[in-house]
Structure 1
Amino acid sequence: MQRDPPTGKITIVDIARAAGVSIKTVSRVINQEEGVGDETRARVLEIVTTMGYRPNVSARSLSSRRSYLIGVIFMRVGAYHYVGEVQVGAMRACRRAGYHLVVEQVLPPEAVGGVQGFAEGLRDARFDGVVLTPPTCDDPEVLAAVETAGLPYVRIAPHREFERSPYVFMDDRKAAREQTLRLWNMGHRRIAFIDGPADHGSATRRRQGYIEALRDRGVEPRPEWIAKGEFLSLSGFDATERLLALPERPTAIFAANDEMAVGALAAAAKHGLSVPRDLSVVGFDDTPTAEAAWPRLTTVHQPTAEMAEAAVEMLIDGFGDERLRARVAARQLDYSLVQRDSAAPPLA
């Protein structure tokens, strides 16, 4: 006879009864331990979802060597949309697996504390593992601190040492190449680029894609066409001011992220230029700002939340496997070009 579902708080005992297995088996499934067959594991997980069971993190921590805490590590937190999207994606994966998310910041090397303070904090944080976002994912001191602490980690969009750990990425270089060629196919021949921070791997790859696209069309980019930026809107404004002051100014500007592209729109407005009639401007990331800007920004959609979600999934899936770093895995997610209103063919 089928039991009526419990009416109070769902416990592990209720899950075991409904699945017809022992409490220990349910515990193994929830804690992602070995010793449970695939069919039994799937049945227990289905019942956990159906009954809305939420493991008690504190109780699980006391009964195991885990804290059920996942750390997501940032260095720059000025790009609020990016930070928010990473948190949303990471939180989704944590909730499914019964983990809690903790956000930490590594202060830049020039700041008081810096990486040394981060390394000391790792010893007290009791993370089960961490996800490293750019540029921390390529910082040798950060990587050394995490490895010294003996923590499993997965990186988002690293730029080098791919064999060092599992990682998640999208093809920034190919996306930037397609974005540049889209401007070329509109008829633009003077296409400038606003670069990102030197220590940010994605900025390097986007610049490479821009250069590659022009060289594929037989054009060697002029050094003055590539303006320095910092992934912030003010840096995009300043870079566009410099580009518009050139004797032969560009007809199109490709900014390496949307924040700088919005700064470019502001600079164009300051100089009385109509976008896209007098100047085309395109970005990268597809943030809410891109949709809210006027004109609405043509850009590249980066699946930021999905990349963070995948990184946490890879991290949790690797728990208990001492070969996590040796068994390097990479997961690639797709981008898409988003056509809006800020790019058009140049005036004849």
Structure 2
Amino acid sequence: MEKVRKSIRRKGHATTIGEVAALAKVSPMTVSRVINGNANVRDATRERVLRAVDKLGYTPNLAASTLAAAQSTRVALIYTNPSGAYLSDLLVGVLHGAARAAVQLVIDSWDELDAEGERRSARALARSVAGVILPPPLGESKAVVSELVRAGIPVVAIAAERFREDISCVHIDDFRAAREMTEYLISLGHTRIGYIKGHPNQVASQRRFEGYQAALAAAGIAPDHALVQQGYYTYRSALEPAEKLLTRRNPPTAIFASNDDMAAAAVSVAHRRGLDVPGDLSVVGFDDTSAATRVWPELTTVRQPLEAMADAALDHLLRSIRNKEREHVLIDQVVQHVLVKRDSVAAPRRGS
């Protein structure tokens, strides 16, 4: 480690890939794979290498040879997502990647646009940028994506399953993640598990609900439609659903909300009703955004590595832009999720 520090201080010394590898405690081949966007690298290893790259100021030969082109490259991130915590984590990843790649980043909200407005905006956007990153739900908008692809603009969708072959996607396995979370609750003894669904305009919402249902079925727990309520991924949208669940004659012993904002709302409703979390009610969320640690108790949740996903999406987008004269580099990358256990979950009380 000391040798790396000395080499950085030598005037005019260019950091080598070997020094990056030494700092990250990986092989030079692994550093090369990360820099070139190879998907066959563990997320934790990728993050360690990128931190070493940033710390040492390493500039790969490929990046150096295309730096002038990269500086004039404009890419856009367009969003309509209602969760502020989700967007915050996503933007950190994109901004980190944009700074590292020396590209111009355009960020815009289309919250107020109807379907026709989105189509017109997509056509206009295609004339001013070289590539576009689309978080949900825009990443699943056939109209928006069609306009961009028709104009020859590379598109990468984040946190959305691939629905056409001419765009790239970076996402987790939402079905598997929700199934694992439900299985965890069942393993503690919960059999009445309330569920607050996500916005129906996103495929991930349905996949998470299907994962919840699959875990119940595998455990032999009959579905109870009264334990399922509709939310829309905002804090306020989950207040009434949580109230309905907790005012039932036989209320659930656990609530699984399909994002952290809605789980935080469920905790708030429980506290207002004098319930102890997790003593009287376990609550879990999804995404592991900052909302998960802003409530008491902190939420057990599924970590969707949004920053790393956004950074990877930008890397894929830039490769497609630079290969535009040839065949686009299209990928469908599934990133590993993590079940994060915190203090909002406990076994149900006896007799519950």
2:89: which partner in 1?
A: 85
Secondary structure at 1:319 match in 2: helix
Secondary structure at 1:289 match in 2: helix
Alignment of 1:232-311 (within 5 A): 232-311=234-313
Secondary structure at 2:321 match in 1: coil
Alignment of 1:43-58 (within 5 A): 49=57
Deviation at 1:168, TM superposition (A): 0.7
Alignment of 1:204-219 (within 5 A): 204-219=206-221
1:70: which partner in 2?
A: 75
- Cα displacement string for residues 26-54 of structure 1 (whole angstroms, at most 9, x for unaligned residues): xxxxxx9xxxxxxxxxxxx99x945899x
Mapped contact 2:98–2:314 kept (Cα < 8 A): yes
1:121: which partner in 2?
A: 124
1:163: which partner in 2?
A: 165
Q: Where does structure 1 differ by over 6 angstroms across 4 or more consecutive aligned residues?
A: none
Shift of the 51–146 alpha-carbon distance from structure 1 to 2, 3 Å rule, reads closer
Secondary structure at 1:275 match in 2: coil
1:17: which partner in 2?
A: none
Secondary structure at 2:233 match in 1: coil
2: distance between equivalents of 1:51 and 1:343?
45
Deviation at 1:239, TM superposition (A): 0.8
Identity %: 35
> Which of the residues 99, 116, 123 maps onto 1:95?
99
Aligned residue pairs: how many?
Answer: 299
Mapped contact 2:161–2:171 kept (Cα < 8 A): no
Deviation at 1:272, TM superposition (A): 1.1
Cα root mean square deviation, aligned:
3.0
Shift of the 312–50 alpha-carbon distance from structure 1 to 2, 3 Å rule, reads closer
2: distance between equivalents of 1:99 and 1:155?
19
Equivalent position amino acid for 1:281 in 2: V
Equivalent position amino acid for 2:313 in 1: A
1:228: which partner in 2?
A: 230
2: distance between equivalents of 1:277 and 1:118?
50
Shift of the 318–110 alpha-carbon distance from structure 1 to 2, 3 Å rule, reads closer
Q: Which runs of 5+ in 1 are unaligned?
A: 7-31, 33-44
Mapped contact 1:122–1:149 kept (Cα < 8 A): no
- Cα displacement string for residues 325-345 of structure 1 (whole angstroms, at most 9, x for unaligned residues): 5x5312221111111111101
TM-score norm. by structure 1 comes to: 0.78
Deviation at 1:235, TM superposition (A): 1.5
* Bigger Rg, which one: 1
- Cα displacement string for residues 202-257 of structure 1 (whole angstroms, at most 9, x for unaligned residues): 21111111011001111232111110001111122211101112222111000001
2: distance between equivalents of 1:108 and 1:243?
32
Deviation at 1:195, TM superposition (A): 0.4
Shift of the 105–117 alpha-carbon distance from structure 1 to 2, 3 Å rule, reads farther
